[in-house]
Amino acid sequence: MLVIKTVLVVVYVLISVLVKKKVKALEMIAKKRLVKEELEANDYLFTEITEKTPLPLTTIKGTQFKHPKFEFSGACAGCGETPYLKLITQLFGDRLVIANATGCSSIYGASSPSTPYSIPWANSLFEDNAEFGMGIKIADEVKKNQLKQIIRENIAKVDEEEKRNLRSLS
């Protein structure tokens, strides 16, 4: 009973202090001020915060410091598939392309308008997932070879100064 009385006294004191100071639960402030503060915070986030690698990436623990390309799936609690997807995206990053077979992962992976993947992902119906993935791989190689051919055919049209600039970038 003493505890309840103590809590009531504390609440009464807090309320009386807030009323005397006229502190409001919500404070209306100019949107421009809010936007400016948010932009400053975002600038700090994108310029100062980097991915940390305190352990070698060749170890299991080290891979967990890599930013995953699969997050917030919405899969069932305790789903055993999503940790593996997160891990594979941490291991391969932007080099990964997923050819998915129809199943639960199609539901939590394509819940429009959002998706847990930030890498290329496609879904195949029926039992042709291996062939589907191989088709994606072949198409990727063909497109890359076409780009290389276009570059070879047109490299002579680029002046020497521009070539030096391009080489210095790579």
Tens-digit pLDDT profile for residues 19-40: 666 667 777 777 777 788 888 8
Residue 115 structure tokens: 């998706």
What would you report as the CA-atom Rg of the chain, rounded to the nearest whole angstrom? 27
Q: How large a percentage of the chain has pLDDT more than 70?
A: 85
Q: Where are the beta strands (DSSP E) in the chain?
A: 98-101, 121-124
Task: Indicate the average pLDDT of the chain.
Answer: 81
Spatial distance between the Cα atoms of 77 and 124, rounded to a whole number of angstroms? 25
Whole-number Å distance between alpha carbons of 96 and 166: 26
Residue 32 contacts by C-beta under 8 Å, 6 or more apart in sequence? none
β-partners of residue 9 are none
Q: What does the pLDDT average to over 85-98? A: 89
pLDDT tens per residue across span 3-14: 565 656 666 656
The SS3 of residue 66 is: coil
Beta-bridge partners for 117 = 70
Give me the percent of the chain exceeding a pLDDT of 90: 10
Q: Which band of pLDDT confidence, cut at 50, 70 and 90, is reported for residue 140?
A: very high
- Per residue in 54-77, pLDDT (tens digit) is 888 888 888 888 888 888 888 888
Q: Residue 169: what residue type?
A: L
Quote the CA–CA distance of 111 and 104 in Å, as a whole number: 11
What pTM did the predictor assign? Answer: 0.57
